[in-house]
Structure 1
Amino acid sequence: MKTLQPFSVNYSNVLYFLFTSIMILQGCGPDKKTKAQEKVVPKDEGTIEIITTVMDFKSPDTIPSGWNTFKYHNKSTETHFFLLDKYPEGKTIQDTKTEVFPPFDKGMDLINEGKSEEGFTEFNNLPAWFFEVVFSGGSGLVSPKKSSITTLKLEPGYYIMECYVKMPNGKFHSSMGMAKPIVVTNKKSSNAPPSVTTSIKVSSTEGINYNSPITKGAQVFSVEFLDQIAHENFMGHDVNLVKLTDIANLEDLESWMNWADPKGLITPSPQGVTFLGGVNDSPAGSIGYFKVNLEPGHYAFIAEVPNALKKGMLKTFTVLE
């Protein structure tokens, strides 16, 4: 096993994989299909329907590689997203039971006791294959009773679809069943990237930037990840679209987007905001797309990082009538 020095781990990988591991440790078997899951099939090649009704993902178990459009319907009463984690060859979610359980169990106990330094140091005992997990995009946050449309390019392999927003008691949604294996096959989708109305670029140095005024109606945003790093909360950056009302407080929103804040990513989400999707954490150099129908009003792009405003990762804009 690879020997790691304290705080030499890739913390972005650690935290993401933690949330999927919790689900296994709690005994929620994502490999078991429900009748509802079996009935959810792509309407056509390259279009993947995903439905959340409570704490679940109902979707096909296998999808083609290449460009796929994911239509995510959040029919629940809580905010969710989905993130696709690509596992190294030969590894499945079952490997977490014996190889990942001990360090995560101890590490999380220490973090919950307020001993964050000791907790993250404990993750040095993770198996070497863990650091090969690739976080490959997904939908940004989606508010209750809303839907998102996201287009991603995926390589063949074994993935875990997860959500790690927190319940009111602080437990991650993944521990309640929101972690599901997905196999991406060698068969390629015939899809191509959609036509774009606005191009977004995101990086750790320049923040979130876009190339044109944003108007009402159907919009397709491309999100290009110029780089990817682990921020202070050990997460990579992403792009989430938020609609703001007059009672929305940007400071509250910014704090809520940081999971490391005790009240971060926890139900309920801040007042006066509606999450409309986006593109989740993706590798440097990759491009994802999301489609949304914009009504006149105030909006923001925001990343799931601490101090998003200071980093240029909280940008507000207005859509005119």
Structure 2
Amino acid sequence: MTKTNAARHLLTLALTAALTAPALAHAGHTHGQAPVQVQAQDHKFATPAGVTTGWTTFELKNTGQEPHHMQLVRLPGGMTQADFLAKLRENEGAALAGVEMVGGVGMLLPGQAQRVTVNLAEPGTYLELCFVPDAKGVPHLALGMVQSFQVTTGAAQAQPPKADLKVKLVDYGFELPKGVAITEGPQVWEVTNAGPEGHEMLVFRIAPGKTMADVAAYMQKPEGPMPIIPAGGAQAVTKGRTSYAHLNLAPGDYILLCGVPSPSHQGAPHAALGMIRPFKVVAKTAQK
């Protein structure tokens, strides 16, 4: 693989601090149908061989010893897994722009789990990918963390879950509802990409004792433990697509971040183009 983009490389530097921090559980509530169970191991996915089209909930459980995420993509007709991986080695941003990104679960620490509901609108070959790099900066997918599965046409069509909060992804920022307090506990976020580039919504909790100023300083000069802790989120979707992240948030200060490389900005991660936003989760008692 070519060098990991800057945002994902910065995430690697968080591992030492993150693995010693209290893990947040992220099961969330779902919308009726049993979720498709996927295990993220070191370094492979354990997943069913196939699912049917329509709205589908995946539950990713990190059973490994390293942080992992799950990015889902659909390969266009005529493209093989080997073709796609070869394109990734040449130019990650261009390769991702050439497939349909359908979402997935953001970075989880060992022992964490989270659900995401995505629309597998078309049959075909899909891939599960983990771009999280190891301590040497090598993406897990280059170590074998790539799994294909087939989506076939199904008769029953499930409905997406009811959203508690709606987020719009734009070039380059996150649009949240104005004047809405985000409270602790299980919740579903509807995440829509208004594009035109592909975007993700990674969720990080700011470490205790740290501030957004510390995060900004670290992004400028990444030295020492990273001041944010992975807390899941929604992986990248192509323009016009929507996914639903099932979150379970504790009170505290958080940020949203998009690390997708921009094909129109020489592969610069979207976070470097301004796609990073703080938000606060308040305790329910604070709303009374």
Indicate the TM-score class for this superposition, using the shorter chain for normalisation: 0.7 to 0.9
One-letter amino acid of the counterpart of residue 191, structure 2: V
Cα displacement string for residues 267-291 of structure 1 (whole angstroms, at most 9, x for unaligned residues): x9x5453322221111111111011
* Contact kept? 1:220, 1:292, Cα under 8 Å: yes
Instruction: Answer whether contact 2:199 2:238 (CA < 8 A) is retained.
Output: no
TM-aligned CA distance change 1:307 to 1:286, over 3 Å: closer
Matched to 2:102, the amino acid is: S
Decide whether aligned partners of structure 1 residues 72 and 95 sit closer, same or farther in structure 2, where only a CA change above 3 A counts.
Answer: same
Q: CA deviation at 1:209?
A: 1.8
Match of residue 285, structure 1, among 240, 246, 253: 240
Residue 89 in 1 paired to residue 77 in 2?
A: yes
The Cα of 1:310 is off from its aligned counterpart by 6.4
- Give the direction of change, closer, same or farther, for the CA distance of 1:131–1:150 in structure 2 (3 Å limit): closer
* Structure 1, 310-319 or 71-80: larger mean CA deviation: 310-319
SS in 1 for 2:101: strand
Match for 2:278: what amino acid? K
In structure 2, the residue corresponding to 1:218 is in which secondary structure?
strand
For the 8 Å contact 1:303–1:313, the answer to whether it is kept is yes
Is the Cα–Cα contact under 8 Å of residues 44 and 145 in structure 2 kept in the other structure? Answer: yes
Aligned residues, how many? 243
The one of 136, 152, 155 equivalent to 2:102 is 136
Q: Give me the whole-angstrom Cα distance separating, in 2, the residues matched to 1:131 and 1:284.
A: 10
Larger Rg, first or second structure (1 or 2): 1
Distance 1:148 1:169, change over 3 A: same
**Structure 2: which 5+ runs fail to align?**
6-31, 261-268
Whole-Å Cα distance in 2 between the matches of residues 223 and 66 of structure 1? 17
| SS of equivalent residue, structure 1 residue 187 | coil
Are the counterparts in 2 of residues 156 and 186 from structure 1 also a CA contact under 8 Å? yes
Q: SS where residue 153 of structure 2 aligns?
A: strand
Q: % of aligned pairs identical? A: 25
Divergent runs of 4+, >6 A: 254-258
CA–CA separation in structure 1 for the residues paired with 2:218 and 2:148: 28
Counting only pairs closer than 5 Å after superposition, residues 191-210 of structure 1 correspond to structure 2 as: 191-205=158-172, 207-210=173-176
Q: Give unmatched runs, 5+ long, in structure 1.
A: 1-14, 17-43, 108-119, 230-235
| Equivalence for 2:59 | 71
Moved more, 146-155 or 290-299: 290-299
Counterpart in the other structure of 2:183: 215
Match of 1:297 among 252, 256, 266: 252
- In 1, distance between residues paired with 2:140 and 2:47? 17
1-structure distance, mates of 2:174, 2:158: 27
Indicate how the Cα distance of structure 1 residues 281 and 92 shifts in structure 2: closer, same or farther if over 3 A, else same: same
Does structure 1 residue 176 correspond to structure 2 residue 143?
Answer: yes
- How far the C-alpha of 1:131 sits from its partner, in A, is 6.8
2:118 maps to what in 1? Answer: 152
Pair 96,214 (structure 1): closer, same or farther in 2 beyond 3 Å: closer
In 1, Cα distance between equivalents of 2:213 and 2:150: 39
Judge conservation of contact 2:184–2:281 (CA < 8 Å) in 1. Answer: no
Query: Matches of 1:186 and 1:256 in 2, distance apart?
Result: 47
Opposite residue 75 of structure 2, the aligned amino acid is Y
Cross-structure match for 1:4: none
Equivalent residue letter for 1:208: F
- The equivalent position to 1:242 in structure 2, one of 192, 198, 204, is 204
Instruction: Provide Cα deviations, 1:130-168, integer angstroms capped at 9, x if missing partner.
Output: 974222211122222211110000121101110111111
How far did 1:96 drift? 5.9
